[in-house]
């Protein structure tokens, strides 16, 4: 485990030193909370900020994870990747370190957004609700981080990865329950939202906020995370040889 934490700590230090990257990652979620959560005249709920907050948290995790896939590409461009492969630790520790640091970055960003939502009027969570919310976000972040690193291995170019990231992120967000419940969607969109992993994370956080333990959502996300992680390890081994 030590090489994993070393790789993770290295990228965390680099991220904290680049302050504008952290700040810019919070601008869009904060804007969604203000201009959507407070400004839109929504009729299906009396307190839309409570409804939209889980969606913004999941969107923040989605954005942080997909953007974090570029860390692997950056190391390959700068020549660090080949040097890491030559070190004694198992090659998979590089991959797990990337997945861990991307997930941690997402949790840090969602923490800031969550407390910002409380300042805007969202209902405060209890300690148990905080723990369950972070559990869902951690599993969801690990799932997306594994997918992002796998995609980064295949793409290999920073500009192309940014284009693919933009092409994937927004459709996933809008085809989920982030902005409206299933019953308010067109039938075709509701079908897509029901199989969207982002919806599982959002629905799970909403159930936690309502005082329910989202067992099915956590189980589905955990299985998906395990499957994608196995695929990511397989791809990493194949490309890294």
pLDDT given for residue 136 in this prediction? 95
Mean pLDDT in consecutive groups of 10 residues from the start of the chain, 241 residues: 82 77 72 69 68 89 84 76 74 86 90 87 88 95 91 78 84 88 89 93 93 92 94 80 44
Q: Closest by alpha carbon to 226, among 147, 153, 136, 154?
A: 147
pTM over 0.85: yes
Using CA of residue 132, residue 54, residue 178, residue 106, what is the dihedral sign? negative
pLDDT given for residue 241 in this prediction? 44
The answer to whether 58 and 205 have CB atoms below 8 angstroms apart is: yes
pLDDT given for residue 239 in this prediction? 66
pLDDT given for residue 163 in this prediction? 82
Distance CA 109, CA 115 (A): 10
Q: 33 CB contacts (<8 Å, ≥6 apart)?
A: 49, 52, 53, 56, 113, 116, 117, 120
Using CB atoms within 10 A of its CB, is residue 42 exposed (0-12), middle (13-18) or buried (19+)? Answer: middle
């Amino acid at each position: 485990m030590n090489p994993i934490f070393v790789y993770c700590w290295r990228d965390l230090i680099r991220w904290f030193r680049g302050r504008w990257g952290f700040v810019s990652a919070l601008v869009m979620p904060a804007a969604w909370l203000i201009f959507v959560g407070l400004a839109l005249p929504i009729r299906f709920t009396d307190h839309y900020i409570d409804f939209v907050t889980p969606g913004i948290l999941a969107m923040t995790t989605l954005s942080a994870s997909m953007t974090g896939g570029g860390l692997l590409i950056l190391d390959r461009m700068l020549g660090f990747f080949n040097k890491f492969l030559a070190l004694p630790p198992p090659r998979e520790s590089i991959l797990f370190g990337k997945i861990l640091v991307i997930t941690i970055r997402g949790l840090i960003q969602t923490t800031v957004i969550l407390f910002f939502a409380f300042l805007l009027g969202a209902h405060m969570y209890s300690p148990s609700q905080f723990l369950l919310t972070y559990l869902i976000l951690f599993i969801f972040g690990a799932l997306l981080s594994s997918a992002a690193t796998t995609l980064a291995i295949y793409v290999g170019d920073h500009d192309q990865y940014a284009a693919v990231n933009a092409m994937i992120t927004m459709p996933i967000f809008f085809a989920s329950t982030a902005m409206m419940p299933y019953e308010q969607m067109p039938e075709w969109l509701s079908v897509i939202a029901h199989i969207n992993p982002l919806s599982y994370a959002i629905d799970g956080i909403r159930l936690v906020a309502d005082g329910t333990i989202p067992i099915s959502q956590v189980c589905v996300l955990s299985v998906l995370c395990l499957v994608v992680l196995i695929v990511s390890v397989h791809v990493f081994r194949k490309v890294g040889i």
